[in-house]
């Protein structure tokens, strides 16, 4: 059985759905979505390595995207789940895409929220690794509160910053993480360390829906390119930014339920 901490909700025997959170998150990020989905689906949400309760893992490679994929599939095996619909947000979406390409027989569909197949330029990946190393050192030396304040100043989260109550709740949840464990995840599973998967998109054999927020121009553009080059379906959610399931949960859940019901 995998050492990953996880939560599961819904009726045994219902169609299973695996939900993968983003960097700094935990399985609790999906609570509002699961509350609705569990009426019709068996919802499984793990804490990914370095997040929530999945900390202190004894083997360093568990914090890489390949190691995280191994732990997720081991969790499915331990629970007797042979095939599942896959949902991933941001970092969790990158992991979901990796899983769908490396273990295609395990997944019936793939929903990617604000996710990318990776950085194609080796020079840009090097720069991202250097930036993530600086962030990891900041986590280790300055703690989590100051890091989160700086993290959410990024343009990517401009729409979230305009909603102080939502940002406050998000930061409160993030503070339950261990900064040293987050640093391990950032070093090993950051975008700079991921092999770009753009050239492999077209061979995904299951339905794929890519979702982005209207206010997140970067990832709306990535979704559009994925539709053009990989043939995936695409949905842009009005008024939402990078974290669509947090900023527009009703519309996100409507899109997700519709996608899952069609599988």
Nearest to 113 by CA among 75, 81, 139, 87: 87
| pLDDT for position 143 | 84
| pLDDT for position 58 | 85
pLDDT in tens, 22-63: 999 999 999 999 999 999 999 999 999 999 999 999 888 999
| pLDDT for position 5 | 97
Distance CA 112, CA 115 (A): 6
Q: Do β-strands 208-213 and 84-89 pair in parallel, antiparallel, or remain unpaired? A: unpaired
Residue 130 in any domain: the answer is no
Task: For residue 47, give its domain range.
Answer: 6-119+195-262
Q: Do β-strands 107-113 and 84-89 pair in parallel, antiparallel, or remain unpaired? A: parallel
Q: What is the CATH number of the domain that holds 32?
A: 3.40.50.1820
pLDDT in tens, 211-242: 999 999 999 999 999 999 999 999 999 999 99
Cβ count within 10 A of residue 168: 10
Tokens coding 188 = 């090993």
Q: Do β-strands 6-9 and 42-46 pair in parallel, antiparallel, or remain unpaired? A: antiparallel
Distance CA 4, CA 113 (A): 22
Residue 134 in any domain: the answer is no
Alpha helices by DSSP H, listed for the chain, are 31-37, 65-78, 91-102, 122-142, 144-151, 158-161, 164-174, 179-189, 217-230, 244-247, 249-262
Residue 94 in any domain: the answer is yes
Concatenate the DSSP letters of all residues of 206-260 into one string.
Answer: S-EEEEEETT-HHHHHHHHHHHHHH--EEEEETT--S-HHHHSHHHHHHHHHHHH
Cβ count within 10 A of residue 12: 7
| pLDDT for position 62 | 94
Residue 190 in any domain: the answer is no
Domains identified in the chain, total number: 1
* Residue 207 near residue 262 (C-beta atoms within 8 A): yes
Residue 14 in any domain: the answer is yes
pLDDT in tens, 147-191: 999 999 999 999 999 999 999 999 999 999 999 999 999 999 999
- Kindly report the pTM of this predicted structure: 0.97
pLDDT in tens, 69-111: 999 999 999 999 999 999 999 999 999 999 999 999 999 999 9
């Amino acid at each position: 059985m995998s050492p990953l901490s996880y939560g599961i909700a819904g009726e045994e025997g219902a169609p299973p759905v695996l939900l993968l959170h983003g960097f700094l998150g935990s399985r609790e990020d999906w609570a509002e979505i699961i509350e609705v989905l569990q009426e019709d689906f068996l919802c499984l949400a793990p804490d990914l390595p370095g997040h929530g309760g999945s900390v202190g893992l004894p083997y360093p490679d568990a914090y890489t995207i390949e190691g995280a994929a191994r732990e997720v599939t081991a969790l499915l095996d331990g629970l007797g789940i042979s095939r599942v619909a896959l949902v991933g947000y941001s970092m969790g979406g990158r992991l979901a895409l990796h899983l769908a390409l490396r273990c295609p027989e395990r997944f019936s569909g793939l929903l990617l929220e604000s996710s990318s197949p990776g950085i194609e330029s080796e020079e840009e990946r090097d720069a991202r690794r250097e930036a993530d190393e600086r962030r990891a050192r900041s986590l280790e030396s300055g703690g989590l509160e100051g890091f989160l304040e700086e993290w959410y100043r990024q343009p990517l989260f401009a729409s979230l910053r305009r909603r102080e109550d939502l940002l406050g709740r998000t930061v409160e949840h993030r503070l339950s993480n261990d900064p040293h464990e987050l640093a391990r995840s950032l070093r090993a599973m950051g975008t700079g360390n991921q092999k770009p998967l753009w050239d492999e998109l077209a061979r995904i054999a299951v339905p794929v829906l890519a979702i982005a927020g209207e206010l997140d121009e970067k990832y709306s553009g990535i979704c559009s390119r994925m539709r053009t080059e990989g043939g995936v379906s695409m949905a842009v959610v009005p008024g939402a930014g990078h974290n669509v399931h947090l900023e527009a949960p009703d519309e996100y859940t409507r899109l997700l339920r519709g996608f899952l019901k069609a599988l």
